[in-house]
Amino acid sequence: MNSITPRVRFAPSPTGYLHIGGLRTALYNFLFAKNKNGKLILRIEDTDRKRFVEGAVENLNDTLNWAGITFDEGPDIGGESGPYLQSERLQIYKELVEKLVAEQKAYYCFCTPERLEQLREEQQKLKLPQAKYDKHCLSLSKSEIDEKLNSNIPFVIRLNVKPDQKVFFNDVIRETVEFDTNNIDDQVLLKSDGFPTYHLANVVDDHLMEITDVIRGEEWLSSTPKHVILYDYFGWDKPGFAHLPLLLNPDKSKLSKRQGDVAVEDYREKGYLKEALINFVALLGWNFGDDKEFYEMDELIEKFSLERVHKAGAVFNLEKLNWLNYEHLRKKPDAEVLKMLRTEISKSEFSSNIYSDEYLIKIIGAMKERVSFVKDYLTKSPYFFQAPESYEEQNLKKRWLEDSAELLNKLKERFEALVNPSKEDFEKALEEIAGQLNIIKGKFVHPLRIAVSGVGEGPGVYDILSVLGKEETISRINSALKKLS
RNA sequence: GGCGCGUUCGUCUAGUGGCUUAGGACGCCGCCCUCUCAAGGCGGAGAUCGCGGGUUCGAAUCCCGCACGCGCUACCA
């Protein structure tokens, strides 16, 4: 629209963990800001004291940081528009809302929760089209208000919505959205505990922090007219709006616990790479218009635009995430996988064993195309970390034949003669003996695989052998011969 | 109930009036490769574009109605 530097914000409330939907909202804000050379602000919406969770802010920071979403301003970083914790901005909200009261754009309300409850029940009984506050306290005289205020009767401040008007605003994703003010409640702006509600706080802060574009979840679309009224009452310019489609459960309801993991930290703990999660979540509701599905963060930044965000909600589908995790993992340099593998080992039953970098790198080379998660290295090929103690029953039945022990014994003798054998040396030795005895290779290969790994699947046998080396190979053949003869 | 938003293969999506017998990806199935499992290559099943009306020579694409789903409807965000 103009040449002003875009300023956007991610404004979570500290109720525990970062929701996967929150991650996507944060990501879209981040991508939008980076793409336009703008600023991203982190603001903590801690205006609900009942829902505040200790340590939630730290957790939010930690998770966002892990995901690679960085902020230009925020509680920990500082900035010129602070404080970035709404609980530290109470005075600001109070002063501004009082200005609105002075102009009759908002008013004191002394109604008790009981009366409000009763009002709602009555309205329901009468089957009124919509339940709204009845503006009861709007008719209070100045002296009545002062008297109640002086005797410390609890109060809230409500937005004075004028009836019979149209409110409309433009949404980048949904275009023009229109509401009738008759359907808009006199929303509480300031609660009786002196804290603002979301509606007041977000408008005030977005204005004061010079936010140019509000990018948030679709659940906010219905309350946006209240915000628009507020901007008008204050006489402020409105930011641009973009309401993102919701992330959905398999049954299409709003993504929630009960139907799977919703916390980003759950996925982190399960071994998902941040690259995969970011890639996946970015594509849930956005695409560039071509067939590309594998993205790194910098490409997302380059190509992202709100105009290409979809309108409809998207089901969070684990299978595609798993595939992306596989794709990102296999593209990582071995040295990086090595680091991750080491931490995985340290958490495993093999933690007391010692493996050289060289050895682990060989395992990575052999297994890379067979794993989706780093932990798969341990679960799919435990034999690289410890000699097999038992042999898979099914496979044994099929592959361990009458003559297997004898053939394996002959093969072992061949191997013993080898000096520092490579993969090719092992292969040649096996082929030679098979040729000499005129027996097909499979008769050697399968029993050998069982002996050395205990299972019937995995990398090529010669690859396994070259990872294990001559000594270990022979020792494993020996114990297999002992146990299986 | 009211208001709002949405609706293309099971899922994520391409598609903005003719290039579409609706394309890709994940998943699924089959074949090839092969010492196994993967990977890779090739192929297959899978969408009457929610439904019904219009507009137009022509509609997934434009308009209207309906249905369904979801969101909001708090002194929660």
Distance from residue A473's CA to nucleotide B35's C1', rounded to whole Å:
17
Distance from residue A187's CA to nucleotide B75's C1', rounded to whole Å:
10
Around Cβ A296, how many Cβ atoms within 10 Å?
Answer: 13
Indicate the length of chain A as a whole number.
485
The pLDDT tens digits for A11-52 are 999 988 999 999 999 999 999 999 999 999 999 999 999 998
Q: Where do we find the tokens 């915000």?
A: A227
Among candidate residues A258, A256, A204, A243, the one with its CA nearest the CA of residue A91: A204
Whole-number CA gyration radius for chain A? 32
The neighbouring-strand residues paired with A307 are none
A461 touches strand B (CB under 7 A): yes
The pLDDT tens digits for A141-156 are 999 999 999 999 999 9
CB-CB contact of A209 with A7 (8 Å): yes
Interface pTM, i.e. ipTM: 0.95
The pLDDT tens digits for A292-315 are 999 999 999 999 999 999 999 999
A373 touches strand B (CB under 7 A): no
CB-CB contact of A203 with A220 (8 Å): no
Assign a CATH topology to domain A387-485. Answer: Arc Repressor Mutant, subunit A (1.10.10)
Whole-model pTM: value is 0.95
- Confirm whether A91-190 and A387-485 share one CATH topology: no
Assign a CATH topology to domain A332-382. Answer: Helicase, Ruva Protein; domain 3 (1.10.8)
The pLDDT tens digits for A199-254 are 999 999 999 999 999 999 999 999 999 999 999 999 999 999 999 999 999 888 88
Quick check: helix, strand or coil at residue A426?
A: helix
Quick check: helix, strand or coil at residue A84?
A: coil
CA dihedral A334, A335, A340, A345 (to 10 degrees): 90
Cα A371 to Cα A114, A325, A379, A466, distances in angstroms: 59, 9, 10, 19
**Could you tell me the end-to-end alpha-carbon distance of chain A, in angstroms, rounded to an integer?**
80
Q: Which residues of A are catalytic?
A: 257
Q: Which 255-284 residues of chain A approach strand B with CB closer than 7 Å?
A: 283-284
Determine the CATH number of domain A1-75+245-330: 3.40.50.620
CB-CB contact of A227 with A199 (8 Å): yes
Q: Which 214-253 residues of chain A approach strand B with CB closer than 7 Å?
A: 218-223, 245-246, 248, 251-253
| Closest residue by C-alpha to C1' distance, nucleotide B12 | A284
* pLDDT at A3 (0 to 100): 60
CB-CB contact of A44 with A59 (8 Å): no
Structural element, H or E, at residue A123: helix A113-125
Smallest CA–C1' separation from A283: which nucleotide?
B12
Domain layout of chain A by residue ranges: 1-75+245-330, 91-190, 332-382, 387-485
CATH architecture of A91-190: Alpha-Beta Complex (3.90)
